[in-house]
Amino acid sequence: MRFRDRAEAGRLLAGELRHLRDANVVVLALPRGGVPVAAEVAGALDAPLDVILVRKLGVPRHEELAFGAVASGGVRVLVDAVLAEVRLDAATIDAATAAATRELERQEGRYRRGRPPLDVRDRSVVLVDDGLATGASMRAAARAVHELGASHVTVAVPVAAAQTRDDLRAEVDNVVCVATPVPFLSVGSWYADFSPVSDDEVLRLLASGR
């Protein structure tokens, strides 16, 4: 199936998450693309919406290929299979990590504007993105919310590579995915409109979600 846009994908995903409506739920989006999807989910579940700040670590000259990701709080996840293939040295990995961490700090200031993040301790967290390819960003997000004391973690996405979905099931409590097409190709392949999401759009959706 192909989604019209992220909002439609979010509405379809929300339909798969109705069982969480009465739970003590917080919806956390991976910016920027996950925010329009998560806004639909949070609205359907009547749950608060916030972001979990994550940055992919892209292979030099092939930035779309993630060899890892970093999340707020100093969490870093590396994709061993990608690193085995591209064979990056430690200095390159550390430089990419440092650059991504600086961007995380910029985003924290931009999106939060002095507000603290939602407290997830002892709460059920739904982590939302617009799709999963390698899953590196989502793994970093999941590890971060586990370290923050979340009691239950659900990963929820409209579309994912089947192997990534299956691998994530070993790391979180539940994975909900509308579609796992074969061949997968890329996340954007399954959206008619996969336009970039602006910071202004993220801020607008977060303000309404809070």
Q: Find the CATH number of the domain harbouring 169.
A: 3.40.50.2020
The answer as to whether 39 is a domain residue is yes
Domain count, the chain: 2
The answer as to whether 190 is a domain residue is yes
Spatial CB neighbours of 170, under 8 Å, sequence gap ≥ 6:
none
The whole-angstrom separation of Cα 74 and Cα 37 is 26
Both 122 and 194 in a single domain?
yes
Q: Pick the last residue of a domain from 66, 81, 110.
A: 110
Q: Which two tokens stand for residue 107?
A: 């985003």
The model's confidence at residue 181, banded by pLDDT at 50, 70 and 90, is very high
> What rounded mean pLDDT belongs to the chain?
92
Please report the pLDDT score of residue 137 as a whole number. Answer: 86
Both 101 and 150 in a single domain?
no
Both 19 and 68 in a single domain?
no
Question: Could you list the residue range(s) of the whole structural domain that residue 188 is in?
Answer: 6-52+115-209
The answer as to whether 1 is a domain residue is no
Both 67 and 166 in a single domain?
no
- Per-residue pLDDT at 209 exceeds 80: no
Q: Pick the last residue of a domain from 110, 144, 176.
A: 110
Residue 194 Cα distances to 42, 56, 152, 188, 201, angstroms: 21, 18, 30, 6, 14
Q: Pick the last residue of a domain from 110, 127, 145.
A: 110
Both 123 and 197 in a single domain?
yes
Spatial CB neighbours of 153, under 8 Å, sequence gap ≥ 6:
124, 125, 127, 142, 145, 146, 172, 173, 174
pTM for the model: 0.87
- Per-residue pLDDT at 60 exceeds 90: no
Both 39 and 87 in a single domain?
no
- Per-residue pLDDT at 51 exceeds 80: yes
Please give the DSSP secondary-structure letter assigned to residue 117.
Answer: P
Both 29 and 119 in a single domain?
yes
The model's confidence at residue 105, banded by pLDDT at 50, 70 and 90, is confident
Residue 181 Cα distances to 4, 65, 153, 158, 186, angstroms: 16, 19, 24, 11, 10
Tell me the pLDDT tens digit for each residue of 72-99.
Answer: 777 888 888 888 888 888 999 999 999 9
Both 16 and 87 in a single domain?
no
Three-state DSSP class for residue 39: helix
| 55, 103 contact by CB (below 8 A) | yes
The H or E element containing residue 176 is: strand 174-179
Please report the pLDDT score of residue 210 as a whole number. Answer: 64
The answer as to whether 12 is a domain residue is yes
Three-state DSSP class for residue 128: strand
Cβ neighbours, 10 Å, residue 192: 9
The answer as to whether 137 is a domain residue is yes
User: Could you give the percent of the chain with pLDDT greater than 70?
Assistant: 100
Please report the pLDDT score of residue 193 as a whole number. Answer: 98
